[in-house]
Amino acid sequence: MTTLRYTKTIAFVTMSTWTILPSSAWESEVSPEDFTVSRVQYGGHGRRLGSNDDTCEASIAGQPWQPLRLGVHYIDLETDLPDTAMRDYVRKEAVPRAVSYWQKTLKVRRAQAPIRAARSCRSEWLPGKCARVRYEGGGASCGSINGSPIMIPEDYLDELITYGGCYTDGTCIYPTVHPAGSGFTDVDMVILVTAKADNDCGANGVGTFAFALSCQRDQCDRPTFGLINICPQMIDLRSQYAKDELVGTMIHELTHALVFSSSKFPLFRYADGSPRVPRDPSDGELRPYSTRYQCSTSGGLSVTYPKSNGNYMYVDAPGVVEVGSARGMNKEDCKCPVGRMGSTSSSDMQKCLLAPKGNCVFKVVTPKVVEKAREYFGCSTLDGMELENHGSGQGCRVLESHWEQRILEGELMVPVTGFSYNFMSEITLALFEDSGWYLPDYSMSAKMYKGMFFGYKQGCSFVNDKCINSGGDVTFEAGGKKTSHFCTAEDDTESRCSLDLNSKVKCTIKDEAAPFSQYLYGGPVKHGKSYYGDYCPIWESASSWDCEMGRFDDMSRLNGELFASDSVCLMSSLRRSQYLGGGKVKILPNPKQVSACHRVECSADRQSYTVFVAVGFAGDSNDVRPLGTCRTEGQIIYDPNNEYSKEVSAFKYEKGYLTCADPALVCAVRNYPHLSLKSNNELSDGSSGPGPDLGAEGFAGNLRPGLSLLTVMIVIILSITLN
């Protein structure tokens, strides 16, 4: 006798949110995902791949790498963004620029048939035999906002058959067909874009800015559908600074949706399509490497590991992420479920969680990432690229989805950034290549210069040792090497220039005890303020100090400063005397050198530059005079002949001098492709990439020429949503 059978299934998606906090930072956390598989057709097989015999390896065999195509579909934008200017900026500039950057940077094995999303089945009679759909009409969602699912349009859904019942011999009865739609043609991934006011959205420049998620993947595990939601009350078009902030947000979010998620690491593949992490031979799933655990933050962090019905799932990725050692944290002390190191108890697991201490080191150890990390830091023995080991709040996750802040400050994919330039490194592009899903163009990363980028060519001691030794000096404990990257209490009242010379900076050191013993540098009251940066005190900028977009105040006027696109930060003690009227002149003191923004003009061969000082009081860019020419680093220039001491607008310069920065850095050709898009999908070199295919509500129109610096500091928080 055959009987009816019932099995319940649940699907998960991962959501990442960008939040702007008063401290202006980025941060993020990622939860495990097991998003729906919807197979696609690669190559000219003449059929869609649908059977269990259609492996990734077979489907991509012989298929060439071709430029990525991202399709965009806007949902309810007319309703949710009634402001025409905001809506147009989202549709015509912010999203298209982010899409265009990744289309020009990445290649994939292209889908040859329309992309479709698998419909959601709530329960099954037998594996692959759906009993009941999750949504009325047999639809599928891509996340939810305020508890309401964001439905994928019917045109993009695949066929699903439900049955009134099935017998144990596999025979099913009373079929109902939910037909396939036309799909999204000529694309490799579909991005749904919304602008809905979620309960977690911020307001008045503080709080969540946007979030993104992936919700469908193909038989090679590459994401094929995703969602980006922009919080409408956070959109600000009053300045170029604010506009560029939104563009940067879209680029970062797309990076997470495409590849950079700790829950995607176990899904990585080799270039031939074979999985990096071994699968269950019976069905190709990751179950042997996934474990549920119970985690609670009520009354303090508590963990039960493992627990079959736990509220968190950890999916290990041996060969992709491993436990490592650095800065006094030893892998032997971290019995974490990473790299299949053996049994893990609840107490061991609690030590492995991201929040709050960051006791363990986790590294991406895939070949290309290791190669590019070694090149970047100038360390031939580096065994992996560190992931961030802190999480916001009392987090229950094992792995973060960003690079370690302590060693890669300012890179696009670290959790917090305070640099005026956010740069895309080859390390991040290498992660795309090691996923097996993409082939990146490494020329689309920023051009590197030693001394300009945090950690670049700083050597093994910079990566592996503590930032400040036990004596409180800015040296590495093992290497004994001095660095300009960190500061101490002696620098607390000083101002300096950022590494890239684009901004004035100050030391972030705090005069209070560090919260954890491993971050006590030179005594109990000397440490930085960022736990993401391992409490290392660094030189930090602010938007008002940026040499392009800074604000004039009395001191900057008296320093002869000028904020402009061709201004850089230099150390100067130049001061002006002030005419008080009635024949009286107030002579200002001649203090030690401080950071100041001055216009510069580089020579044709970029071997020298002329420094200009502002003469007028209003900061008029035309009211300037040349001070001198810098040819070498450390050169001193001043006004020995008192040529400019004549009164101009009641001011004159009194004594003081300016110290030249390295002309190689000042006159370097700053190449930031991800922030340099021109119109028609072009970069500053005039080359162009493929344009995105437009969906039913697809974006259209030209892209704005040029793109200013992204000087924002945004926070990202990724959370799990049960679909």
Domains and CATH numbers, the chain: 552-666 (2.30.34.10)
Which residues lie closer than 8 Å to 48 by C-beta, 6 or more apart?
A: 39, 40, 41, 113
**Which of 343-347, 378-382, 672-676 is predicted with the least confidence, judged by mean pLDDT?**
672-676
Active site residue 253: yes
Q: Is the pLDDT of residue 484 over 80?
A: no
> Is the CB of residue 95 less than 8 Å from the CB of residue 699?
yes
By percentage, how much of the chain surpasses pLDDT 70?
71
Q: Is 402 annotated as a binding residue?
A: yes
Predicted confidence band at 240 (pLDDT cuts at 50, 70, 90)? Answer: confident
Per-residue pLDDT tens digits for 570-625: 998 877 665 555 554 454 555 678 899 999 999 999 999 999 988 765 545 567 78
What is residue 418's predicted lDDT score, i.e. its pLDDT?
Answer: 55
Q: Is 485 annotated as a binding residue?
A: no
**Is 141 in a helix, a strand, or coil?**
strand
- The most confident of the ranges 2-16, 55-69, 455-469 is 55-69
Q: Is 674 annotated as a binding residue?
A: no
What's the mean pLDDT when you consider all of the chain?
A: 77
What is residue 242's predicted lDDT score, i.e. its pLDDT?
Answer: 77
Q: Is the pLDDT of residue 720 over 60?
A: no
Q: How far apart are CA 114 and CA 181, in angstroms?
A: 10
Residue 443's φ and ψ, nearest 5 degrees, are -70, -10
Predicted confidence band at 207 (pLDDT cuts at 50, 70, 90)? Answer: low
What is residue 150's predicted lDDT score, i.e. its pLDDT?
Answer: 93
Q: Two tokens at 423?
A: 């740069």
Which residues lie closer than 8 Å to 493 by C-beta, 6 or more apart?
A: none
Per-residue pLDDT tens digits for 147-204: 899 999 999 999 999 999 999 898 999 999 999 999 988 999 999 999 999 887 877 7
pTM: 0.83
Give me the catalytic one of 29, 93, 124, 253.
253
Q: Is the pLDDT of residue 18 over 80?
A: no
Best CA proximity match to 272, nearest among 109, 446, 454: 109
366: number of Cβ within 10 Å: 24
Q: What is the dihedral angle through the alpha carbons of 626, 628, 632, 635, rounded to the nearest 10 degrees? A: -130
Q: How far apart are CA 614 and CA 269, in angstroms?
A: 57
Q: Is the pLDDT of residue 551 over 80?
A: no
**Which of 215-229, 486-500, 680-694 is predicted with the least confidence, judged by mean pLDDT?**
680-694
Instruction: Count Cβ atoms within 10 A of the Cβ of residue 182 and give its class: 0-12 exposed, 13-18 middle, 19 or more buried.
Output: exposed
- H helices within 175-274, ranges in order? 240-258
What is residue 191's predicted lDDT score, i.e. its pLDDT?
Answer: 94
Per-residue pLDDT tens digits for 486-517: 887 666 667 889 888 988 888 887 766 566 65
Q: Is the pLDDT of residue 30 over 50?
A: no
Predicted confidence band at 345 (pLDDT cuts at 50, 70, 90)? Answer: confident
What is residue 54's predicted lDDT score, i.e. its pLDDT?
Answer: 72
